[in-house]
Amino acid sequence: MKYKTFSNGVAIPVVGFGTWQVSPQEAYESVRSALDVGYRHIDTAAAYENEAEVGQAITDSGIKREELFVTTKLGNKIRGYKETLQAAKESMEKLQVEYLDLYLIHWPNPAAHRHWWKEANAESWKAMEELYRKGVIKTIGISNFEERHIEALLASAQVIPHTNQIRLFAGEQQRALVAYCRNKGMVTEAYSPLGVGGILSNEVILRIAGETNRTSAQVALRYNLQKGHVVLPKSVHRRRMAENLDLFDFELSQEQMVCLDALPNTISATRNPDEVPF
């Protein structure tokens, strides 16, 4: 496994196992399988409603806690200083961990707090900064934040977010936002790096998969790794989990990268964070 280093020196495995849209019933077995095939970075969220199952899988795996990188996220209904402290505590209890490697604000402008989102994020961030200073959370970050949301947060933040987890795949690279985040020293994490599966039948990706003797998913993931992102693929199939981790013994050529850079977004537009209905 390879790692990227956050601005505070903490290392994160560049491939993590995502659990979005993995039901509680599937989460336990999926995470156990992921850990068995070699994943050491697990990404979940309060909104996924599978933290307890993810936590049980981690506990039952017998893998030492210090060998794992565990991420979860603050739910959209929760904002405020005390509320965020409590939410983080509850997530850790469900996950059966004494600390989090990464805690994220999941969305910048949820429906329940749209009337005061700037102040709401600032209050929650203050709580996350406190937990970070205490060592209860090793790194703190954001997800789905665009430049305007980050600027609003930085107006009162004492700790610059260590990462922004955003929707990134071949055909959806959000180049301006990525450049902005990197200028601020943030690692970029790619969720839905396979385009929710939709890009895997793309003709260009299929051609490159043939040229490299790799799967379409491996090509799509390797592309994002070479763009400098951490990737969070998801699968409930053990064989595909292993394939999605097997990314470090080949490299895409400059010509192949240029072809993938030129792909249009043929899946769907990235949600406007100010208009999400949740």
Write the pLDDT tens digit of every residue in 10-26.
Answer: 999 999 999 998 888 89
Question: Please, what is the angle between helix 117-134 and helix 147-154, to 10°?
Answer: 60
The answer to whether residue 220 sits within a structural domain is no
Confidence of residue 267 (pLDDT cuts 50, 70, 90): low
The answer to whether residue 264 sits within a structural domain is no
Q: Which amino acid appears at position 10 of this protein?
A: V
Where in the sequence numbering do the catalytic residues fall?
A: 48
Q: Which amino acid appears at position 193 of this protein?
A: P
The answer to whether residue 6 sits within a structural domain is no
The answer to whether residue 182 sits within a structural domain is yes
The answer to whether residue 213 sits within a structural domain is no
pLDDT of residue 199: 86
Q: Does residue 197 carry a pLDDT above 80?
A: no
Number of domains composing the chain: 1
Q: Does residue 276 carry a pLDDT above 90?
A: no
Alpha helices in 68-139 (DSSP H): 81-95, 117-134
pLDDT, mean of residues 222-245: 97
Select from 132, 152, 194, 126 the least CA-distant residue to 8. Answer: 132
pLDDT of residue 232: 98
pLDDT, mean of residues 91-108: 98
Confidence of residue 264 (pLDDT cuts 50, 70, 90): confident
The answer to whether residue 248 sits within a structural domain is no
Q: Does residue 268 carry a pLDDT above 70?
A: no
Domain that holds residue 65: 12-196+228-236
The answer to whether residue 204 sits within a structural domain is no
Average pLDDT for the chain: 96
Q: Report yes or no: 96 and 55 within 8 Å, Cβ to Cβ.
A: yes
CA 66 vs. chain centroid, Å, equals 19
The answer to whether residue 254 sits within a structural domain is no
Q: What is the CATH number of the domain that holds 75?
A: 3.20.20.100
- Give CA–CA dist 71/100, Å, rounded: 6
